[in-house]
Structure 1
Amino acid sequence: MTKVVFLHPDLGIGGAEKAVIDAAIALKSRGHKVEFVTAHHDPSHCFQETKDGNLKVTVAGDWLPRSVFGRFYALCAYFRMIYAAIFLVFFSDISYDVIFCDQISACLPVLRCSNAKVIFYCHFPDMLLAKHDSFLKKIYRAPIDLVEEWTTGMAHCILVNSKFTASVFKKTFNSLTRCSPAVLYPIPDFSAFQKPIEPPTDNLLPSHKKMVFLSINRYERKKNLALAVQAFGQLKERISKSEGDSIHLVMAGGYDERVTENKEHYLELRLLCEKLGITDDVTFLRSISDSQKRTLLNHCDCLLYTPDKEHFGIVPIEAMFMRCPVIACNSGGPLETVVDGKTGFLREGRPDQFAEAMERIVDEPELSKTMGEAGKKHVELKFSFKTFTDQLDNIVLDLIS
């Protein structure tokens, strides 16, 4: 049995959090002892596995500020993660052989002070996600970006979530030419999706609508959620009034009251619906439960996945497993997961392109079923949780041997 501790900045609700939780579940299924150390964990805003006792969670550094007067979020996140690492290595009684760290690499020099092997999982280079659109921001980000590149190379093993991210990693971290990251697709534990499906309530899915489109993503501007709303508005203009009255859009996603952008973007999307005159045809859901997610994917006719150049994207795989076809941008991760014309459609990230694909689903309702069946088979063949577990288990065993 190998003892693995996962070090993560904030165990909330999001793709990165789901990825590391599934990795922990995978290793636990192979007999390894796993637990988490994090700077923040709110039992009212987290995945079920971290609050039901399945995965032990220790919080360290939550007293540190998340920002200074609404600024310096990145710097504060670095300090919080470094503090959590110091706690883990020097002050905790947690026993471990391997440390699995993700998102923030600045804590790796601290982790290397231990005798453990360190795995760093790069969801995407943070320096490419941050804004550098002003002189002051460039000055602020310069040392942070240098630290990210330098510390990332200190891991014993570097993993990335897709071939797309691997190519970006090599182009971005020029000094890490000797580092060759391995691709580990963050495949979910599909056993959770085989639990009983609860019937939808009207506040989740309107019962009087014949066809429902679904978007699942965090309420962040970089997720391009406005594309789903705009495409739905254009779709209603392209089809007859009777068809338009029978379709609906559900916008569901992670939402945290502590995050200003979540609140702002949620209101922006509601205002956009008012502007397009589709308020009554769009349902907004925030921080849905796993049970609600299963119900939505099971009863909706098509998933709209709007992020452009997304690093990987776990939701399309979950949707296809639930026999829900996917319309996604033809860039980034979806190019590796969605088969255009077979399990869904890959389109340019423009409202007219998405609306055209959505109209195909409306005009040919049987497509939802045939593409859904093809998606299920595609996921079972290429993205099995067993394959993911085998690969991660071998990585851990190779490191400690």
Structure 2
Amino acid sequence: MRVLFMHPDLGIGGAERLVVDAALALQNKGHTVSFLTNHHDPSHCFEETRNGKLKVRVVGDWIPRSIFGKFYAFCAYFRMMYAAFYVVLFQSKEEKIDLIFCDLISLGIPILKFAEHTPKILFYCHFPDQLLTKQGGFLKRIYRMPLNYLEEKTTGAADGVLVNSKFTSRIFSETFKTLNITPEVLYPSLVTSSFDITSPIDHSVTDIDDNATIILSINRYERKKNLPLALKAFKLLEGNLTKHEWDRAHLILAGGYDSRNLENIEHYDELSVICENLGLKDKVTLLRSPSDEIKVKLLNRCRMLFYTPTNEHFGIVPLEAMYLARPVIAVNSGGPTETIVHEQTGFLCESTPEDFANAATLIIKDQKLGEKMGDMGRKRVQQRFSFEAFTEKLNQIVINLINRRST
């Protein structure tokens, strides 16, 4: 079958990793896949979308991302509607499309229904978009009302809806009350072959001693990711560890950084100031948009992973760390409660520096504990979140959706 993936911005993030993996999975099953997106920067994307393994077409990048620094959601919706019209007017006439896989923005779904050959529409809801924006004042609520209404109605127009966790499924039902839909859970997965890198990290990337005890955090430079929690928890370790243990400890904050994104720029600077104020300038490294290869090497090199977001929809990074046998310390909410087993593959903590620091102290002081948790985490990923299982389930979902046409 021919499957078209429509995604707003093919950058670096959990949502992007999911759709790229979904495309690879269906491609491995013999389907013809391609991407249509509003923006794709070869210097800020996943390798598979850059090296030609996945075909990418960009349309509508000339449409502004904001109006005088405001109306980001409206512009994003308009850009994707433009892409949907492009599919109907041009792409569906060039090639037969059996299924369109959309995510993040649903407003184009009713438009796509007019494409030639009437392709099935599968929508992947990472999280309701209306819950990803701050509520703001009266004018903001007035601005969001029609967008929220349209999000709900257009999501309901899809032929099938998927979500990334049971947590998101519950939030979906609570948010879209008028939809009589029970979305199917398709957990994100890992292309584990890309994580089997054994070469050491280059010192040109990070000038950290080979004997350092590294705590790693991987998250985009966004305020909702709660990265200051990692810094404050790390600072508390100074009082929990011996001088020798503290001297060896080092925290790395690595994450997606887009120079077009004002919040990324501001938050990176805010974190730098927090490091200065906590006296951690020489104990913390801030890395911007490390490559996939560097990220894997960092995960191989670290002792544990800090995962700080609250109510994260799923969270692919904990799976990556667990596959590489690293214990994960995460907030006890959202998707991580479905991937991490408390006190077996890591720790699920309250969102406080004290809880994170205490959990990290146990792992630093008991190396065998960390190794045991790491081994159990790797087995859990292999058993529950393998790319093979992900591929089989997605392929069956797609086949069932296509076959529904004849019933």
The TM-score normalised by the length of structure 1 is 0.98
User: In the alignment, residue 25 of structure 1 is paired with which amino acid?
Assistant: L
Structure 2 contact 197–297 (Cα < 8 Å) conserved: no
Residue matched to 2:365? 363
- In structure 2, list runs of 5 or more residues that go unmatched: none
Aligned ranges 1:265-344 → 2 under 5 Å: 265-344=267-346
Residue matched to 2:107? 106
Report the Cα distance in structure 2 between the residues aligned to 1:87 and 1:345, rounded to whole angstroms: 47
Count of matched residue positions in the alignment of Structure 1 and Structure 2 = 399
Aligned ranges 1:73-92 → 2 under 5 Å: 73-92=72-91
Deviation at 1:189, TM superposition (A): 1.1
Residue matched to 2:137? 134
Deviation at 1:342, TM superposition (A): 0.7
Percent identical residues? 54
Aligned ranges 1:3-18 → 2 under 5 Å: 3-18=2-17
Structure 2 contact 228–271 (Cα < 8 Å) conserved: yes
**Structure 1 residue 72 and structure 2 residue 74: aligned?**
no
Report the Cα distance in structure 2 between the residues aligned to 1:15 and 1:44, rounded to whole angstroms: 17
Other structure's SS at 1:279 match: coil
Report the Cα distance in structure 2 between the residues aligned to 1:383 and 1:372, rounded to whole angstroms: 15
Residue matched to 1:46? 45
Deviation at 1:196, TM superposition (A): 4.5
Report the Cα distance in structure 2 between the residues aligned to 1:311 and 1:199, rounded to whole angstroms: 30
Deviation at 1:138, TM superposition (A): 0.6
Deviation at 1:276, TM superposition (A): 0.4
Structure 1 contact 88–94 (Cα < 8 Å) conserved: no
Residue matched to 2:169? 166
User: In the alignment, residue 144 of structure 2 is paired with which amino acid?
Assistant: R
Structure 2 contact 98–402 (Cα < 8 Å) conserved: yes
Q: Which has the higher mean CA deviation after the structures are superposed, 136-145 or 203-212?
A: 203-212
Report the Cα distance in structure 1 between the residues aligned to 2:281 and 2:201, rounded to whole angstroms: 24
Residue matched to 1:119? 122
Deviation at 1:198, TM superposition (A): 4.1
Deviation at 1:46, TM superposition (A): 0.4
Structure 2 contact 214–252 (Cα < 8 Å) conserved: yes
Structure 1 contact 187–314 (Cα < 8 Å) conserved: yes
Structure 1 contact 132–138 (Cα < 8 Å) conserved: yes
- In structure 1, list runs of 5 or more residues that go unmatched: none
Report the Cα distance in structure 2 between the residues aligned to 1:384 and 1:203, rounded to whole angstroms: 30
Residue matched to 2:241? 239
Superposition CA RMSD, Å: 1.1
Deviation at 1:133, TM superposition (A): 2.2
Report the Cα distance in structure 2 between the residues aligned to 1:277 and 1:200, rounded to whole angstroms: 26
User: In the alignment, residue 224 of structure 2 is paired with which amino acid?
Assistant: K
Residue matched to 2:32? 33
Structure 2 contact 2–98 (Cα < 8 Å) conserved: yes
Structure 1 contact 198–291 (Cα < 8 Å) conserved: no
Report the Cα distance in structure 2 between the residues aligned to 1:182 and 1:24, rounded to whole angstroms: 18
Other structure's SS at 1:270 match: helix
Deviation at 1:112, TM superposition (A): 1.4
Report the Cα distance in structure 2 between the residues aligned to 1:94 and 1:10, rounded to whole angstroms: 23
User: In the alignment, residue 73 of structure 1 is paired with which amino acid?
Assistant: Y
User: In the alignment, residue 107 of structure 1 is paired with which amino acid?
Assistant: G
Deviation at 1:136, TM superposition (A): 1.0
